[in-house]
Chain A
Amino acid sequence: MIKISSFKKIRLNSDSINVFLSILPLALFILLVLIYPLCSAFFHSFTKWTIKDTVFIGLENYNKLISGGSLFKLLKNNLIVLLAIPIQISFSLIIAYLLYSEVWGWKLFRVLFYIPSILSVVVIGYLFRVFFSLHGPLNILFRTLNLDFLVVDWFSSGATSFVIVILALIWSQYGVAVLIFLTGMSAIDPSVLDSAIVDGANWWKRFIYIVLPMIIGTIEFYLVVLVIGFFTAVFGFIYSITYGGPGYSTTTIEYMVYIKAFKSNSLGQASALAIILFVIVLVLTVIILRVFRKFGAWQE
């Protein structure tokens, strides 16, 4: 996919000892912090595990998660979070295309749109929690304007809580998305677009028939980033906006791993859940890469 073949040819011949020594520190860190924990979590997912000892119990952890039905409830919440992806991508694509068309002030907008992306998840989470709370500024504003019908207790139900979580997710990342798509677009050969203009293709047609197909690789890259991110890195949002509640209605797999491990002290079950999460992410990543590769081949 990434064309690196031209570089392979000019690689230098082996300098074995030095090459080994240069990779060793990296390998040690990766072994300790990523590979060992991954294997250990896999092994302990078949055990009843406490800090002191480990008892092998076979598939019981997985059985409990699946037959108890809790896995599917959690998975449903993860899928709801994924709803943010199509919104995020289409919204950011249009903004990127507007900036690419050099509308008034596009350089300034590019910088301003990026501001939310430097804020920490906790900051954005608490900001949204405070701003949308029942007696918070938004509802007060609506009450003073006599628009009482717009006053909503956002955090009273799972569905409305998710609206806020998804809003926060989109707001926190759209600057990055716009920037990535803009970079993809700026790699398009301008003469292609110029000849399309000569042929009478309007702004929208050029977007759909030229720009989109040409940045499909960029969209693929970002889709993978988003899928991994929305499955494995929304902890901070859930932690600061809803605490997984009301009840467990906004608890995702990732958040449940945290609860199981550090609140109810069942490390074995937490490991099983974490392994399931990892497998889901792995499978999704492979599927996306496959689908897009087919799509790319069809394009050529």
Chain B
Amino acid sequence: MNKEFNLFSKMLIFIILFLLAVVSILFLSFIFINTFKTHGEYIRSPLALPEALNLTNYRTMFGQSKIGISFINSLVIVSVSILIEIFVCSLAAFSFAKYKFKGNNIIFTAFIALMIVPPIIIMLPLYVLFAKLHLIDTKTAMVIIYVGIACPFALYFLTTNFRKIPTELIEAAKVDGASFFRIFWSIIIPLGMPAIVTLFILDYVWLWNELVLGLIFLQSTDTKTMTVTVANIGSRFFTNQPLLLTGLFLSILPMLFIYIFAARFLMKGITVGAVKG
């Protein structure tokens, strides 16, 4: 198909797409170079390279703002949430995908329809409930909420993928006397692994970057996730842009790291549901 563009339009298209791609890289570089500047230097020349490798901003971030602790919090909250979510949802997805039972389709549709519930609705009653249970500002509360909001999509994603596992395999295992949970553990989980890995990465990026619920349920340094800490730095130190940009840079790093290793999975996962049939 490439043949029908002449050399001029080929180059023109390339240049336009290249400029579009370069915007991302320029923005990331803009953030990076300013992490080494003092406030004064930033005001004078926000687009120039730093005069010296000044690490004060990083020291403030790790010292005063304790972003290291936030990093660990994010790691713990997001990882635990997703592990629970994947266990809970793949178990249910196995039944929805492979068993006949009364109300299968109705319950399944009802559960995945909950994808459209705005997070802003659930936070009000949950805040009141968790306040009564003294669970505000705890990692436990955050994990429970993240598992809950992630479930409808995870159920949809895993069920569609588990349907592709041949039913004959499960029947054969049944004849050999394998129990329900044995089949789940030794057939569904291994064969569904590609889907599970994709879901893991998709949800990792999503929950790592989640703001509104974290902002409300996490309030102290010991529980705040990185996204919440950065949001707070933004509202407190907005006038000190280099410091804010350092916070942004540190919170991007883990996601960039994941992206470099997992771009393949992410690209596959994001398009699930895009094609019918």
Contacts and interface: CB of A to CB of B under 8 A. Distances in A.
A264 interface: no
Interface in A198-249: 202-203, 217-218, 221-222, 228, 231-233, 235-236, 239-240
A113 B227 contact: no
Nearest to A7: B163
A119 B124 contact: no
A121 interface: yes
Contact of B46 (A119, A140, A277): A140
B62 interface: no
Contacts of B23: 171
A2 interface: yes
B17 to A, nearest CB: 5
A14 interface: yes
Contacts of B267: 110, 114, 179
A239 B120 contact: no
A66 interface: no
B218 interface: no
B248 to A, nearest CB: 5
B4 A203 contact: yes
A76 B116 CA distance: 21
Contacts of B91: 22-23, 25-26
Interface string B91-116: 11011111111101001000100111
Contacts of A202: 4
A126 B180 contact: no
Contact of A127 (B99, B248, B258): B248
A179 B270 contact: yes
A295 interface: no
B259 to A, nearest CB: 5
Contacts of B190: none
Interface in B169-209: 170-171, 174, 180-181, 184, 205, 208-209
Contacts of A104: 10, 13-14
A245 to B, nearest CB: 13
B92 A40 contact: no
Q: DSSP class of A's interface residues: helix, strand, loop or mixed?
A: helix
Interface string B202-243: 000100110110011000000000010011001000100100
Interface in A163-186: 171, 176, 179-184
A15 B99 CA distance: 8
B88 A19 contact: no
A155 B67 CA distance: 29
A7 B277 CA distance: 12
Nearest to B28: A115
Interface string B264-276: 0011001101111
Contact of B5 (A103, A114, A122, A282): A103
A16 B180 CA distance: 11
Contacts of A298: none
B121 A119 contact: no
A148 B6 CA distance: 39
B266 A122 contact: no
A11 B4 contact: no
B131 A37 contact: no
B30 A131 contact: yes
A135 interface: yes
A113 B21 CA distance: 6
Contacts of B78: none
Given A14-B100, A37-B125, A235-B212, A123 B145 contact: no
A74 interface: no
Interface string A69-112: 00000000000000000000000000100100111110011111
Contacts of A285: 116
Contacts of A277: 118, 120-121
B241 A101 contact: no
B16 to A, nearest CB: 9
B120 A23 contact: no
Interface of B: 1-2, 4-5, 10, 13-14, 17-18, 20-21, 23-25, 27-28, 30-31, 43, 46-47, 88-89, 91-92, 94-102, 104, 107, 111, 114-129, 131-132, 144-145, 147-149, 151-152, 155, 163, 167, 170-171, 174, 180-181, 184, 205, 208-209, 211-212, 215-216, 227, 230-231, 234, 238, 241, 244-245, 248, 251-252, 255-256, 258-259, 263, 266-267, 270-271, 273-277
19 contacts: A12-B98, A14-B102, A29-B144, A34-B149, A36-B125, A38-B117, A38-B122, A109-B17, A109-B21, A118-B259, A121-B211, A122-B227, A126-B230, A129-B238, A136-B46, A184-B274, A261-B124, A271-B125, A277-B121
Q: Which 4 A-B pairs have the closest CB atoms?
A: A33-B148, A120-B209, A232-B118, A40-B125
Given A2-B277, A33-B148, 15 more contacts: A7-B163, A16-B101, A22-B95, A34-B122, A37-B129, A41-B125, A105-B17, A109-B20, A114-B263, A180-B270, A203-B4, A218-B274, A233-B118, A236-B211, A278-B121
